[in-house]
Amino acid sequence: MSGRAMGQAGSIERRRVVVGLVSLVAVAAAGPALVDAASKLRVIATIPDLRALTEAVGGGLVEVDSLARANQNPHDLEVRPSLMVKLRRADALVVNGLELDGWADAVLRGANNAAVVPGAPGFIDASRGVPVIDVPTTRVDRSMGDVHPLGNPHYTADPGLAPVVTQNILDGLARLAPEHRGTFERQRQAFLARLQPALARWRATLAPLQAARFVVYHNDLGYFFKRFGLTQLGTIEDRPGIPPSPAHLARLVREMKDARGRVIVVVEPWSDQKLAARVAEQAGARLALVNARLGASGPEGYLTSVEANVSALAQAAR
């Protein structure tokens, strides 16, 4: 081989060595990220609110999805095989409890994932310790509609209960990854630190609405109203989960006309918006759409959702 050829061969070999070293450095640099991605806890929440709160606590250590989508009624979810597939691969399941997401039982049976059944470390009931309202004082039967015998399950509507809910989520995640408890706690505290000034701002925004009266389609804003000192006049539903009768609607419209102060009808994406608009028109009331931003992802998702609801009510009162 000539000297020139030998020089070219040596140059090629040196380039190969350099490329190889660069590749090794790149792999080494990417290695921790790849390991972290592979070791994330796979968490399924039953509803979008709990997905957002779990993301706030878990941060980059979790990968979260929800069974119910943002535009679906959380009471009545169709159990599909795709939901079972989601849950089959999960490390944890965060449930609302209080029988809001009772349909999750059927998803659990189909998923056949022992890691997330009630009693397993991966089963997280977010309602533990929540001061429940609207607990029935009489016997509940089906003639009363979709009444919840354990009380009103819509506590995630109240941002003031986020400390209780996120503590439940933190405890559940820490059971599965105790080495990350400190990180979960720091992320939870950072979220709550952002929540406190937001709560003060929302109180100030809603303070003028304390003289108003609110009509909801379904009785799912009780916790929210209680937190901000707002008054619920009635519901479009005569009985929970049952379409209202003409007599009930006529009576409700009369009460709305007789009410002192401005009346605001609150409706959600999964409610009968046309009926709500008709009731508002007949009573001379304003209409507000809430939960339109429900399910926003990321640590700020829950705050974004509440902010949108507060803004919707404030705008309707103008």
Q: What is the pLDDT of residue 8?
A: 46
Per-residue pLDDT of the chain (318 residues; tens, 9 = 90+): 544 444 444 444 444 433 343 333 333 333 333 335 568 999 999 999 999 999 999 999 999 999 998 888 888 888 999 999 999 999 999 999 998 999 999 999 999 999 999 999 999 999 999 999 998 877 765 555 566 778 999 999 999 999 999 999 999 999 999 999 999 999 999 999 999 999 999 999 999 999 999 999 999 999 999 999 999 999 999 888 788 999 999 999 999 999 988 999 999 998 999 999 999 999 999 999 998 777 666 678 899 999 999 999 999 998
Q: Which of 154, 221, 165 is nearest to 192 (CA)?
A: 165
CATH dotted code for 202-316: 3.40.50.1980
pLDDT at residue number 318: 85
Q: How far apart are CA 273 and CA 271, in angstroms?
A: 6
Instruction: Find residue 288's DSSP bridge partners.
Output: 266
Report the pLDDT value the prediction gives residue 300, as an integer from 0 to 100.
85
Termini Cα distance of the chain: 90
| Distances, alpha carbon 186 to alpha carbons 31, 32, 209, in Å | 25, 21, 35
Closest CA to 202 of 236, 166, 162: 162
pLDDT value at residue 13: 46
CA distances, 136 to each of 139, 144, 145, 240 (Å): 7, 11, 13, 13
The radius of gyration of the chain from alpha carbons, rounded to an integer in Å, stands at 26
- pLDDT score recorded for residue 140: 61
Fold of 39-201: Rossmann fold (3.40.50)
**Residue 64: strand pairing partners:** 43
* Per-residue model confidence (pLDDT) at position 241: 78
Numbered ranges of CATH 3.40.50.1980 in the chain: 39-201, 202-316
